[in-house]
Amino acid sequence: MRYSERLRQRIERTGSRLCVGIDPRPGPDGVEAVPEFLRRLVGETAEHAAAFKPNIAYFEAMGLRGLEILDELLDGMPDEVPVILDAKRSDIGETQKYYAKGYFGKWKVDAVTLNPFLGYDSLEPFLDWEGKGVYLLAVTSNAGSADFQQQQLADGRRVFQLVTELGARSGAEQRPTDVGYVVGLTNAAGVLEAMPDAPLLVPGLGAQGGALESLAAAGRTAPDVINVSRGISQGPAGGDGRGFGERAADWAATIREAYENADKAATGAA
């Protein structure tokens, strides 16, 4: 089964497009409290999750023990929930070959985020893995995405559209790895209509303040997922007395409602 098919089935089975971000920050109890925190986070949110997205930076910041914790986490993930490793890796092809072997071969994650700006040959080591997916950074959720990603070229295209052409090239070559894109909600205005109907990983909801309406109303059919990290694992400042599962259920319902309202509006307009 291709990655996009598996993700679509998960979305249909759960009725949720929520991607639960996993960004562990050691608290007063230190690094050794993190595994239990992660066990609770995954266990309580799995039924509401279309996917999980561990961000490798938070584990690397804990040193060797952090990488051991990530290894343990990935080994114990529920089989039914796709895992997207947020690594944003970019290097020459020979080095990328070893990143791909580590992520897809050793850790067996389902998808990984990649920085495409070294060009197509830097992506190729990831494109021949059956059942796997990659998400190329297209328009990220930070303000700096305007510096390069949204700049207009002389022929009228914008830089992020060159990224989507790399995905189209992979498709034309019938590579077994599915190619999707990272598009931040905070910068999605004027971007979504130029994106192909390929899977999107959408950050920017929750703590970053992105709005769902434009994405929900875009009429896309791809298995897009919307990431929430701090809004689930940390919640509002000062705490709200709710568990991880309750917060995940609320975010999943918020996303579902936005899509349902968009469908109703489109049906009414028709």
Q: How far apart are CA 196 and CA 157, in angstroms?
A: 14
Distance CA 116, CA 193 (A): 21
φ/ψ bin of 24: left (φ > 0), alpha (ψ from -120 to 50), beta (otherwise): beta
98, amino acid identity: Y
Q: Which residue has the tokens 């303040």?
A: 209
How many beta carbons lie within 10 A of that of residue 25, not counting itself? Answer: 12
Nearest Cα residue to 183 out of 222, 115, 137: 137
Give kind and range of the element (H or E) at residue 202: strand 200-202
Contact assessment for residue 180 and residue 198, using Cβ atoms and an 8 Å cutoff: yes
Q: What stretches in the chain show pLDDT beneath 70? A: 206-210, 235-240, 269-270
Q: Quick one: pLDDT at residue 209?
A: 62
Fold for 3-269, please state it.
TIM Barrel (3.20.20)
Residues annotated as catalytic are 88
The angle formed by the CA atoms of residues 79, 81 and 116, to the nearest 5 degrees, is 115
Domain boundaries, the chain: 3-269
Cβ–Cβ contacts within 10 Å for residue 243, how many?
A: 15
Kindly report, residue by residue over 114-171, the tens digit of the pLDDT.
999 999 999 999 999 999 999 999 999 999 999 999 999 999 999 999 999 999 999 9
pTM (two decimals): 0.95
Predicted pLDDT of residue 238: 45
* 234-247 per-position pLDDT tens digit: 855 445 678 999 99
What is residue 198's three-state secondary structure? Answer: coil
Six-digit token pair at 132? 């796997």
Q: What ranges in the chain are assigned the alpha helix state H?
A: 3-14, 34-45, 56-60, 63-75, 93-100, 120-123, 159-172, 213-216, 230-233, 244-269
Q: What is the pLDDT of residue 190?
A: 86
Cα separation of 53 and 229, whole Å? 9
Instruction: Report how far residue 263's alpha carbon sits from residue 137's, in angstroms, rounded to the nearest whole number.
Output: 28
